[in-house]
Structure 1
Amino acid sequence: MLLLGASATASEAPAAVAPAISASIDLEISGLRSEKGNVLVCLSANPKYFPDCSEDKQARKLKVSAGKAEAIQIADVKPGTYAVALVHDENANGKMDLRLFLPREGFGFSRNPKIGMGPPKFKSAQFTIGTDDARYAVRMKYIL
């Protein structure tokens, strides 16, 4: 009888809550040419939508005042493979402005890939994150 009572009590005990499995990504931004406007950040796991993640419903998008964009944190990121694209939206119109197909505003990517004709591929900017927090340095680049 005593054993039955103990097992009934144990089964009625509340289940332990599993800890959240996520991490934070800290981005250290350098090379902003001004404190005007905003820095638009896109964290995407989908190569199809990189670097313009405007159609990526799963992407994490942040807008940070350029004056406060030296350090940006993306919290609660689930383990996976991602890439980050940044735009220095100096005129705060919410998009990358172009002149003759060239960016008029600054841009940056995780892993700082070399820029040739057009934006880098997802693979050159990708990184994998687990449950440990990560820190990445991103250098902004300007063409015009």
Structure 2
Amino acid sequence: MTASAAPPTVEISVTGLRNMKGQILVCLTTNPKAFPDCSKDKGSVRMAVKAANAGDFTIAAPATGTFAIAVVHDENSNNKMDVAIFLPKEGFGFSRNPTITVGPPSFKSASFVVTGDTHQAIRMKYML
């Protein structure tokens, strides 16, 4: 009997944090309807990483496939993105760093294929 291969990992580097307060909320999903808020996707991978450790960390993908990542700099550690009049008060970022105009990017613009261990560099953006 051969051992099954370990699931692939996605190494994530987050740059552009305005401070080291709080945590980075991470969502990895294959479901376009659940992007960028993974709460509607039971198969998504969600985790929180201390902002001070967000330079490089690894997340295990459940399998190979097409994924998208959304991250939020939850500066006050309340486990959600705070908004003020429709604008995020906290930083955010997405895999493949798509251009942000109004609202979150499409799953397609942030998606990437995982066939083995891979890397995503995510730049944080702040609106306020």
Question: What TM-score bracket applies, with the shorter chain setting the length?
Answer: over 0.9
TM, length-normalised to structure 1: 0.85
Question: Higher helix proportion, which one?
Answer: 1
Q: How much identity, in percent, do the aligned residues show?
A: 52
1:17 aligned onto 2:10: no
Q: Structure 2: which 5+ residue stretches go unaligned?
A: none
Secondary structure (helix, strand or coil) at the match of 1:54 reads helix
**Counterparts of 1:72 and 1:22, CA distance in 2:** 16
**Counterparts of 1:24 and 1:102, CA distance in 2:** 32
Secondary structure (helix, strand or coil) at the match of 2:38 reads coil
**Counterparts of 1:124 and 1:57, CA distance in 2:** 22
Larger mean Cα displacement after TM superposition, 34-43 or 71-80: 71-80
Cα root mean square deviation, aligned: 1.1
Aligned residues: 128
> Which residue does the alignment assign to 2:113?
128
**Counterparts of 2:55 and 2:39, CA distance in 1:** 23
TM, length-normalised to structure 2: 0.96
> Which residue does the alignment assign to 2:127?
143
Runs of 4+ in 1 over 6 A off after TM superposition: none
Q: Structure 1: which 5+ residue stretches go unaligned?
A: 1-15
Q: Following TM superposition, by how much is the alpha carbon of 1:76 offset from its aligned partner in structure 2, in angstroms?
A: 4.8
| Contact 1:21–1:79 (8 Å) recurs in 2 | no
